[in-house]
Homo-oligomer: A and B are copies of this chain.
Amino acid sequence: MKKIIGMLLAVIMSSNVALAQEMANTRRARVISPEITADSVKFHFRAEYATTVTLTGSWQKMGEAPIAMKRDANLVWNVSIAKPEADLYYYYFNADGVATLDPSNSSLQRDGASYRNIFIILGDNSADYMDCPEKGNVSAVWYDSPTIGAKRRMLVYTPYGYNPQAKKKYPVLYLLHGGGGDEEAWTSLGRAAQIIDNLIAKGKAVPMLVVMPNGNANQVNANIYNVPGQPSSMLNNDIQSDMYVTSLIKDVIPFIESHYAVIPKKEARAISGLSMGGGHTLRTNYLFPGYFSYICPQSTGAHPHNQKNSAYAFDEGTLSNYLEGIKKAGYKLFWLGCGDVDPWYPEAQEFDRLLTQHGMPHTFYVTGGGHEWKNWRHYLDTFAPLLFK
């Protein structure tokens, strides 16, 4: 008896989750979801007592109704959709009014406080979103920001083969998230590590570091780390966006250039960001021209902060001065991406005209689609090969 218990315990110790699964299997078959076939994606969800279950996913058009699922004899709810085009997609279920994750799929992405399951449809457009055999590392890095008055968190990607103990030095892309995002948005929603891994492995992009700070000046880090019961990591809400932009120059860049094997020169610095981060990208170069040779705002435009009574309510003359400042400082690439149904598209078009008026060489990269990650992943995949060359 003791021996049998011992053997059982050994099994539990070596794989207690597998055992629990095994025991569950004797009661009911395992659900595998999603199932990706040649022409469909099938979703399955066990919910014995639910009366209505629906599926919502990012392949749907804005405002499209949730997709009804149907219960089978095993009390599993099922639905099949036509295979969408190659890309990364998120989805979630709703059972009797409660939005819930797919328990059969442990791969998640996070948008603010919302967790969603993900899957990938393979194809040319999504090839760089998949795991690459030669992977770089992503670190959660704490740095001191005297400008904001806090120790703050950022993610730092170092490319495959990076070794701080070796002599090789690398260039750096500073990559900024949008409103509602945080320092993890680009690695979670944006697949930034996979994209840069694949571009480097294919020889399309130069090996580089990617630095992803938290652009919400009133946070020390992403909200998910505010564990209930422990002191909050929120700062004073009055902290202005310009303090963040200033901290990029005064705190983040000096930290990176003193802690990593990087080239501390303008020619080896790029900056990009989406939406609010596109605004931060421009604002950084307005206030501190001459730090970046590569300037790549996404889904933003001429007046990203055109609020009345705001520090950003600058007039055309001020904007012209800012642009002349960037022109005078010099740059190698000015690359603006925007979707043609993005609400910011008219502002992006105006910015394109202004850059032309000022005689500033630039690329205005227009795609279909709106203010969405589908575009921002694609923009990173498109402009990163142009950097540091």
**A residues whose Cβ falls under 8 Å from a Cβ of B:** 3, 5-7, 9-18, 20, 34, 36, 47-52, 88, 95-101, 103, 105-108, 110, 112-113, 115, 118-122, 130-131, 133-142, 151, 153, 160, 163-165, 178-180, 223-231, 233, 241, 258-261, 275-276, 279, 300, 303-308, 343-344, 347
B residues near A20, Cβ cutoff 8 Å: 180
> Bound complex: CA of A26 vs CA of B20, how far in Å?
44
A91 to chain B, nearest CB (A): 10
Q: Contact check, B137 vs A47: say whether CB atoms are below 8 A apart.
A: no
Instruction: Point out the residue from B15, B96, B226, B344 that lies within 8 Å of A13, measured CB to CB.
Output: B344
Instruction: Point out the residue from B18, B100, B160, B233 that lies within 8 Å of A131, measured CB to CB.
Output: B233
Of A51, A135, A300, chain B has the most CB atoms within 10 Å of the CB of: A135
Q: Contact check, A228 vs B97: say whether CB atoms are below 8 A apart.
A: no
B residues near A49, Cβ cutoff 8 Å: 51-52, 96-98
> Bound complex: CA of A178 vs CA of B120, how far in Å?
30
10 contacts between A and B (CB under 8 A): A10-B306, A13-B304, A15-B180, A16-B180, A17-B112, A107-B227, A108-B224, A130-B227, A134-B151, A135-B151
A309 to chain B, nearest CB (A): 11
Q: Contact check, A141 vs B137: say whether CB atoms are below 8 A apart.
A: yes
With A97-B50, A138-B140, A142-B136 known as contacts, the answer to whether A231 contacts B130 (CB < 8 A) is yes
Q: Contact check, A223 vs B179: say whether CB atoms are below 8 A apart.
A: no
Q: Which are the 7 A-B pairs with shortest beta-carbon distances?
A: A17-B180, A139-B139, A164-B164, A120-B229, A49-B97, A119-B228, A106-B113
B residues near A97, Cβ cutoff 8 Å: 47-50
Q: Contact check, B139 vs A138: say whether CB atoms are below 8 A apart.
A: yes
Of A12, A106, A261, chain B has the most CB atoms within 10 Å of the CB of: A106
Q: Contact check, A9 vs B115: say whether CB atoms are below 8 A apart.
A: no
Instruction: Point out the residue from B107, B164, B230, B261 that lies within 8 Å of A228, measured CB to CB.
Output: B107
With A13-B275, A17-B180 known as contacts, the answer to whether A258 contacts B96 (CB < 8 A) is no
B residues near A95, Cβ cutoff 8 Å: 95-96, 98, 100
A15 to chain B, nearest CB (A): 5
Q: Contact check, B120 vs A228: say whether CB atoms are below 8 A apart.
A: yes
A305 to chain B, nearest CB (A): 6
Q: Contact check, A142 vs B122: say whether CB atoms are below 8 A apart.
A: no
Of A16, A151, A229, A303, chain B has the most CB atoms within 10 Å of the CB of: A229
Residue in chain B with minimal CB distance to A305: B10
A99 to chain B, nearest CB (A): 7
B residues near A100, Cβ cutoff 8 Å: 95, 98, 100-101
With A13-B179, A137-B140, A179-B12 known as contacts, the answer to whether A163 contacts B50 (CB < 8 A) is no
B residues near A115, Cβ cutoff 8 Å: 101, 106, 108, 115
Q: Contact check, B10 vs A230: say whether CB atoms are below 8 A apart.
A: no
Instruction: Point out the residue from B6, B50, B153, B279 that lies within 8 Å of A96, measured CB to CB.
Output: B50
